[in-house]
């Protein structure tokens, strides 16, 4: 690891990685904080590390995207995209699918939650926030080292999958989704004993898109408490994801 003094060009490089265009062109991303950086070093190739030993407090502040800099800034190389065989994956484990989750904080929290509940693959629409943005990376607290995030055409993948998914087919793959007209998550036998398949979580404002809703084979609903009480209009998508995954694991 190179601990030579940080240069002005390196400071500019780190700052440029706040923009997706530069991240995509260079294949790099930034992480901050000792814990987050240490976790990511287990999986990703370290390109640059700046801390009190090789950078001034001003340089660290200039490189940081946080209101309160964490004292450690690192640049990592993005991994090569992993081939995605959705039918094969979903036949043996839970796969989380995000349909247009746009808030970086929500995406980062969802990745961290998936890591906690043993979900290893998250499949995102192209409209979903970039998992390599500094805000997302920071919110994951290193979970990106263990959770694989894929970007793909959800409709194309699910349309193909739904052609194979019928109750009489031995290779039936359930597609869960949170919908207002779904089955109560806490109802008896709402969830199967064998936990595999796909869980779709939708956009913060609009939920699951109209194109994907017909492909959901098992609509689920998280009921408010008590029934019929006046409550908030909806749950935050990252909170809803945590509730859904917790219930899958509990059952």
Q: Tens digits of per-residue pLDDT, 50-102? A: 999 999 999 999 999 888 888 999 999 999 988 899 989 999 999 999 999 99
Axis crossing angle, helix 104-116 with helix 237-250, rounded to the nearest 10: 10
pLDDT at position 226: 77
pLDDT beyond 90 at 197: yes
Query: Among 77-86, 135-144, 216-225, 228-237, whose mean pLDDT is lowest?
Result: 228-237
- What CATH number was assigned to the domain covering residues 86-250? 3.40.1280.10
pLDDT at 209: 95
Q: Where residue 245 falls among pLDDT bands split at 50, 70, 90? A: very high
Quick one: which of 127, 146, 122 has its CA closest to 36? 146
Residue 194 has pLDDT above 80, yes or no: no
Average pLDDT over residues 170-190: 86
* Joined tokens for residue 218: 């098992």
The predicted pLDDT at position 230 comes to 76
pLDDT, greater one: 211 or 163: 211
Q: Is the pLDDT of residue 149 over 60?
A: yes
Cα separations in angstroms, 227 against 82, 130, 183, 230, 234: 44, 37, 14, 9, 14
Answer whether residue 241 shows pLDDT above 70: yes
Reference 216, options 249, 246, 179; nearest CA is 179
| Residue ranges per structural domain of the chain | 8-77, 86-250
**What H or E segment, with its residue span, contains residue 155?**
helix 154-164
Could you tell me the CATH superfamily of domain 8-77?
A: Ribosomal protein L30/S12 (3.30.1330.30)
- In the predicted structure, residue 168 carries a pLDDT above the cut 70: no
Q: Is 0.85 surpassed by the pTM of this model? A: yes
Task: State residue 1's pLDDT score.
Answer: 47
pLDDT tens track for 127-148: 999 999 999 999 999 999 999 9
Rounded Cα distance between 133 and 113, Å, is 18
């Amino acid at each position: 690891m190179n601990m030579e003094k940080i240069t002005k060009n390196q400071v500019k490089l780190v700052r440029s990685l706040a923009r997706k265009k530069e991240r995509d062109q260079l294949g790099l991303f930034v992480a901050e904080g000792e814990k987050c950086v240490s976790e990511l070093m287990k999986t990703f190739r370290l390109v640059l590390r700046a801390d009190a030993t090789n950078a001034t407090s001003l340089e660290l502040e200039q490189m940081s995207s946080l209101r309160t800099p964490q004292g450690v800034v690192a640049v990592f190389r993005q991994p090569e995209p992993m081939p995605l065989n959705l039918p094969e994956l979903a036949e043996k484990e839970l796969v989380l699918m995000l349909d247009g989750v746009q808030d970086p904080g929500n995406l980062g929290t969802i990745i961290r939650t998936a890591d906690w509940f043993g979900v290893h693959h998250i499949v995102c629409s192209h409209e979903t926030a970039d998992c390599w943005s500094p805000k997302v990376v920071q919110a994951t607290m290193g979970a990106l080292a263990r959770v694989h995030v894929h970007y793909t055409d959800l409709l194309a993948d699910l349309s193909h999958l739904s052609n194979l998914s019928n109750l009489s087919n031995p290779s039936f793959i359930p597609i869960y989704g949170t919908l207002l007209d779904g089955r109560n998550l806490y109802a008896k036998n709402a969830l199967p004993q064998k936990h595999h398949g796909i869980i779709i979580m939708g956009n913060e404002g609009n939920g699951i898109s109209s194109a994907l809703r017909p492909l959901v084979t098992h609509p689920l609903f998280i009921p408010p408490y008590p029934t019929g009480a006046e409550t908030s209009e909806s749950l935050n998508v990252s909170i809803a994801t945590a509730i859904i995954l917790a219930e899958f694991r509990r059952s």
